[in-house]
Structures are given as structure tokens and as C-alpha cells.
Chain A
């Protein structure tokens, strides 16, 4: 196997973005599952504008990455998918000292992604630099983590309201969200 030539998928041949919804459906159907995941779909999209210049705004960083759990198995670079490393509740942590966050609990491209450079999925140091240069007012002193539990109901009814509450406690003006 694995003798498929480059260009066999339409995305590789035409340099299109990968159609993950189509591909994951086809993949899980091919494995014999008959109830493929239904990704969230919305027609209307809410929009909020900045209420003050970005250079005076307090910005929060929000991630799906997980704090390293020493007892939860391999979470290092090239780790296989590791559901034991998942977290199940919203969390917040200070940005100092810089946290050791990992993504072994997420479904990323394990052939082409080593996950050895935290800056590829958690841009804390890069945003700190932008703040130091005055591009934003400040980076919030803590960041927030959102669990990924294959439940849109948990996300919208439980987790997102908790993130909003944290944002309000910290008087957040804008947020950068990084899914993996």
C-alpha cells in the first residue's frame, strides 16, 4: 500500500485546500462505521467589532491544546493519537511561566506534523512579542483551554459560556482562537 502517486487526490493535483468533511466521511464509512460525524453548520454568523483600537485592547489566547500530563502516556513529538491526554473541562492558566502544552489528544496530520515546536499550535511567544512591540494593548495574563469532546452540545451549552465568563472576568477586548 501507500503507493498512491502524488496528485491522486484532487486536492494534491490542483493544490486545493483539503476537504476534511468529505474525506473524514469517506474514511469512516470505509472503515465500516455508518454514522459519520456531522460537522456544525450555520448560515448566520455573528460579528462583533473592536470597541477600542487594537493597540489599547487586552487580547486573550484560547487553545484546544492540553497541559502535559505526566501519567497519561506518550504526548511527545510524533505521539500517536492519545485520548488519555484529553481534558474534559474548560481551564485557564497563567502565561508565565510559559506552559508546556501538547496536542497528542487531537486529530492532526501525524505523517507530516511532528508537534515538536509549540509555536506551530500555541503562538504565545509570538503574541508576547507583538504585545512588546505595541501592536496590541496587552496579552491577557492567563490563557484559556477549550475541550474537544465530539459534542457540539457540550461546547455550545457548557464550555463556550464558561469561556465568555472568563473573558468578562478578565475584561477581554478581543480573542485569538487556535484549533488544532
Chain B
């Protein structure tokens, strides 16, 4: 998505990216980025929480207006939880050999599904 934002910017359309993966978006380099330090999948607020959902849209719109240079990142003030232990759980490395084998099998089969879709869409 960062690459799409960059393309639009290069062709004169201002953009703001709302996201949770700070390193990935900043590594790609975008003009305006509203970063939420939330688990991936919650770029626009917490579930069932009108305050964060409205607040983040308001901040994204403010950012469109106020940024005056590229790579402007704003970090939202909302917290996912006081307890930060959720940050331990994504891509855990403490897997047993059986869990690794299962993850690998799953990854390979999903990759094959995607490849088949791409092949059929190009026929």
C-alpha cells in the first residue's frame, strides 16, 4: 500500500497512510503516515470503540492538511492495552519442531493457492 501511496504522491495526489507496521511503512517511505501502535489489523481504531475510530480519522485528515514535508509520521495517542505483552505474540520463534512443520505446511499450501489464482487470472 505504501508503494501505491508513493505513486499517487509522485503524480500530484496527496495521501495519508493509516497503519500499524511502523518499520515497514517507513522503510518504504511515504509522505504522511498515521501510526497506531496496535496489533496488525486495527489501522483505523479499536474494535467497538467509537472514540479511537473517530479520533484516528480526524488525525489522518489533520495530517493531510498540516504535513509540509515527506516522511511525516504522527503516532496516535491511543493504546491497545496497558499490558504490552501482545507484542510478544506475532511471529513467535519459540515453536516446537512439530509447530514449525505445521506452519511451513500451511504457508506452502496458502502460497500454492495464491499461485494458482494468479496463474488463472493471467490466462
Residues of A within 8 A of B (CB): 1-2, 4, 6-9, 11-13, 15-24, 26-27, 30-33, 39-51, 54, 62, 64, 81-84, 86, 88-89, 103, 106-109, 111-117, 119-123, 126-127, 129-130, 135-136, 146, 148-150, 152, 155-156, 159-161, 163-164, 167, 172-180
Task: Determine whether the beta carbon of B45 is less than 8 Å from that of A17.
Answer: no
Q: Which residues of B contact A33 (CB under 8 A)?
A: 104
Q: Which residues of A contact B19 (CB under 8 A)?
A: 178-179
Q: Given known contacts A54-B65, A109-B40, is B47 in contact with A43 (CB within 8 Å)?
A: no
Closest to B112 in A: A83
Task: Determine whether the beta carbon of A177 is less than 8 Å from that of B45.
Answer: no
Q: Which of A86, A127, A179 contacts B57 (CB 8 A)?
A: A127
Give, as a whole number of angstroms, the nearest-CB distance from B62 to chain A. Answer: 9
Task: Determine whether the beta carbon of A6 is less than 8 Å from that of B83.
Answer: yes
Q: Which residues of B contact A1 (CB under 8 A)?
A: 94-96, 99
Task: Determine whether the beta carbon of A62 is less than 8 Å from that of B64.
Answer: no
Q: Which residues of B contact A42 (CB under 8 A)?
A: 6, 28-29
Find residues 88-113 in chain B having any chain A CB closer than 8 Å to their own CB: 88-96, 99-100, 103-104, 106-107, 110-111, 113
Q: Which residues of B contact A21 (CB under 8 A)?
A: 23-24, 27
- Docked pose: A129 CA to B28 CA in angstroms: 31
Closest to A77 in B: B47
Q: Which residues of B contact A119 (CB under 8 A)?
A: 44-45, 47, 53
Give, as a whole number of angstroms, the nearest-CB distance from B112 to chain A. Answer: 8
- Docked pose: A31 CA to B8 CA in angstroms: 37
Q: Which residues of B contact A48 (CB under 8 A)?
A: 8-15, 31
Q: Given known contacts A7-B85, A112-B86, is B70 in contact with A32 (CB within 8 Å)?
A: no
- Docked pose: A176 CA to B33 CA in angstroms: 10
Give, as a whole number of angstroms, the nearest-CB distance from A115 to chain B. Answer: 6
Kindly list 11 other residue pairs between chains A and B, CB separation below 8 angstroms, not including A109-B90, A111-B86.
A4-B94, A8-B88, A12-B87, A16-B87, A31-B100, A45-B6, A48-B11, A48-B12, A108-B40, A152-B3, A179-B25
Q: Which residues of A contact B103 (CB under 8 A)?
A: 31
Q: Which residues of B contact A112 (CB under 8 A)?
A: 39, 80, 86, 89
Pairs across A and B, CB under 8 Å, 28 listed:
A1-B95, A1-B99, A15-B87, A17-B22, A21-B23, A23-B91, A27-B93, A44-B29, A45-B31, A83-B113, A84-B113, A84-B117, A107-B40, A109-B40, A111-B90, A112-B80, A113-B39, A120-B45, A121-B41, A130-B57, A130-B61, A135-B58, A149-B114, A152-B3, A155-B4, A160-B4, A167-B8, A178-B18
Q: Which residues of B contact A88 (CB under 8 A)?
A: 117-118, 121
